Structure 1
């Protein structure tokens, strides 16, 4: 694991950054999640770091990198989302602010156990997006803006790279017994419902704005394209869910999809040259 600092210019990115406009807008809705959940994750994991016994030396090191990676994810998505709003979708912001307020409330009113378990749930469900972008979305990405595609692949490759950190933190702090397992599963479904609810609000706004002025035939075709993206996105969801819900779930055992390591290597920091 390492922290990477990619540099992209999103000033020319448009909301329809892929030829399949419904696909682009559905990913744009998803892009609002990291802008707010990542700062929340950072704050939660800083609290967890303070509570984590010093004997977990490797986990402390991994957690420090995890926190810095998430900060970079937030930064890039904020820049990307700013470009989307500037392209005529300013109405996103009001929905985003409601979502941001939820995380502020969680930090103020929920226990560390809840916040760590929620974070673990988000990290677990990200496995679906990882496989989608590297294995399922190639037809949608053909002809897409290269920087938008790279941003998503870099982010999701790092989600894979640190896939076990939040899971290990949860169990290090709260144990591995049946109560810890049941709480993890409950928090997973809570997180999925909460995040999905927000994404659907943004998605509805973006797609309905695009459909303004469409004929009935054009609207039906747009809805059909949206449904196709949803079908492809959910293709492997049941298999992921089966793994996540197992009492023996180990994120570290997940294998990387083809092409993921190449993305990590492409943005890796080169070791400093030895001085004579």
Structure 2
């Protein structure tokens, strides 16, 4: 693991950066997640680092935590820049939808125990490594002809999510993850993260599509857009669900996952 700071130019990236606009908008909506969850993860892991430091034999994990934190900062910066491009392109209403989502994280940092914060964080990281597998292995048809800068953002980010896929898991396990209670609480955090983040992405995606559909000139175009949206959802669900279900296994360990083909290129940026 290492920290990377790739130069990605978003100045000419269009909101419909992929030939399938509905596909692009799903990932445009998803781009609002790192802008808020990554700062949250950084704060959670800083608290966890302090707890780990009190325990013997955790030096290697502490080193991984430091790199994890720095990687997440870079992810946040790039997605904030990408999202600004979306705001400037006629989708400033995204900000209103992001506000309550960001407020959840601020409130949790004030009110929730570290056990919950880490279980949620590990849930997000489990989603992230699964998303990386899907993006690199299952989306070639959607990415053909897409804007290279938008694709680079996602492939670099998700490659690093896969690279550090074990850090939150190992921290949670070291502090809270032993025994049946640790296992069940990990699943609670995963389901909570899946539902919380999924609801937010759904709201933003619906807004983006609604904005676009205002400009469609016929019912035929509107129906075609809805059909493309449903096709994207079905494809992503079929690709993601088997990977996400593995997280429920008591033997789940993200370290056992094998990197998809093509990922190494984006870890050499």
TM-score range, shorter chain: over 0.9
Partner of 1:216: 219
1:231 to 231, 234, 239: 234
Residue of structure 2 in register with 1:60 after alignment: 62
Residue 194 of structure 1: aligned partner: 196
Cα deviations by residue, 1:143-189 (Å, 9 ceiling, x for unpaired): 11111100100000000000000000001001310001011101110
Q: Secondary structure in 2 aligned to 1:88?
A: helix
Give 1:138-153 correspondences, 5 Å limit.
Answer: 138-153=140-155
Shift of residue 54, structure 1, vs aligned partner: 4.3
Q: Distance in 2 between matches of 1:143 and 1:163?
A: 29
* Alpha-carbon contact 1:127-1:240 (below 8 Å) kept: no
Q: How does 1:102-113 map to 2 (within 5 A)?
A: 102-113=104-115
- CA-based RMSD of the aligned residues comes to 1.0
In structure 2, C-alpha distance between the alignment counterparts of 1:75 and 1:169, rounded to whole Å: 24
Distance in 2 (alpha carbons) for counterparts of 1:178 and 1:123: 21
Any stretches of 5+ residues in structure 1 without a counterpart?
A: 268-276
SS in 1 for 2:91: coil
2:134 and 2:240 in contact (8 A); partners too: no
Partners of 1:69 and 1:112 in 2: CA distance:
21
Q: Is the 8 A contact 1:49 1:63 kept in 2?
A: yes
User: How many residue pairs align between the two structures?
Assistant: 266
* Counterpart Cα distance in 2 of 1:224 and 1:196: 20
Q: Residue in 1 aligned with 2:10? A: 10
Q: Provide the residue aligned with 1:172 in structure 2.
A: 174
Check 1:28–1:248 CA distance in 2 against 1; reply closer, same or farther (3 A cut).
same
Matched residue SS, 2:10 = coil
Matches within 5 A, 1:1-276: 1-52=1-52, 53-214=55-216, 215-265=218-268, 267=269
Deviation at 1:236, TM superposition (A): 2.9
Mapped contact 1:85–1:91 kept (Cα < 8 A): yes
Q: 1:48-94 CA deviation, whole Å, 9 max, x = no partner?
A: 00001242111001010000000000000000000011000010001
Render the CA deviation track for 1:180-219: whole Å, top value 9, x for unaligned. Answer: 1011101110111000000000000000110014221111
